[in-house]
Structure 1
Amino acid sequence: MIERTATIAATVGLHARPAAIFAEAAAEYDDLEITIAATGEPVEEAMDATSVLSLMSLGVAHGDTVVLRAQGKGAEDALVRLVQILETNHDAE
């Protein structure tokens, strides 16, 4: 399993629009199991990264960090792209 940490750049945290953008991108990797959790949370409490509701329920704000984990072929490339999405302030676009 590959793991990466990302800092939330969206000024509103991981809510509505940023969560939808991230979940849609994560869903493109349907052959991978991708999870997300707030930094410090146990691995078993990680949530499905393709679920907007799960993402919003994390309660992470601007500047908080999350841990992404993925398993399967192409996991490294997927996590690089997903970290980039989280570290982009989509509210400024």
Structure 2
Amino acid sequence: MYQRRTLVASSVGLHARPAGLVAKTAAAQPAEVRIAKVTDGTAGDAVDARSVLSLLALGAAHGDEIELSADGDQAREAVDALAELIAADLDA
């Protein structure tokens, strides 16, 4: 399993448009990526990054730390693609 943590850069967090972009990018990846919000250094329950509703339910706000994980072939590439997207200002 490959895991990576990053901070949410969008000023509105993972809501509406940013969540849609993340879900669309996750659906295009060769490996299934899961995402969890990190609180006090511990990752919570991970959800499917392809689901907009699951991303919204995380309640990840600007500056929150999230953890991405994936298994299998090309897990690193899939996680890194989403981590870079989430760390970018998707509001610009």
What TM-score do the two structures reach when normalised by structure 2?
A: 0.91
1:33 to partner: Cα distance? 2.3
Corresponding residue number in structure 2 for 1:32: 31
How many residues are matched? 89
- Aligned CA RMSD, in angstroms, stands at 1.0
Corresponding residue number in structure 2 for 1:90: 90
TM alignment of 1:13-92, pairs within 5 A? 13-29=13-29, 31-39=30-38, 40-42=42-44, 45-92=45-92
Question: Alpha-carbon deviations, 1:39-78, whole Å to 9, x = none?
Answer: 1234xx2100100000011001100010000011011111
SS of equivalent residue, structure 2 residue 80: helix
Structure with the higher helix share, 1 or 2: 1
Question: Alpha-carbon deviations, 1:4-62, whole Å to 9, x = none?
Answer: 00100000010000000000000012x422100001234xx210010000001100110
**CA–CA distance in 2 between the matches of 1:20 and 1:67?**
18
Q: Which runs of 5+ in 1 are unaligned?
A: none
Q: Which runs of 5+ in 2 are unaligned?
A: none
What TM-score do the two structures reach when normalised by structure 1?
A: 0.90
**CA–CA distance in 1 between the matches of 2:32 and 2:26?**
9
SS of equivalent residue, structure 1 residue 77: helix
8 Å CA contact retained: 2:7, 2:87: yes
Using the aligned pairs only, state the percent identity.
44
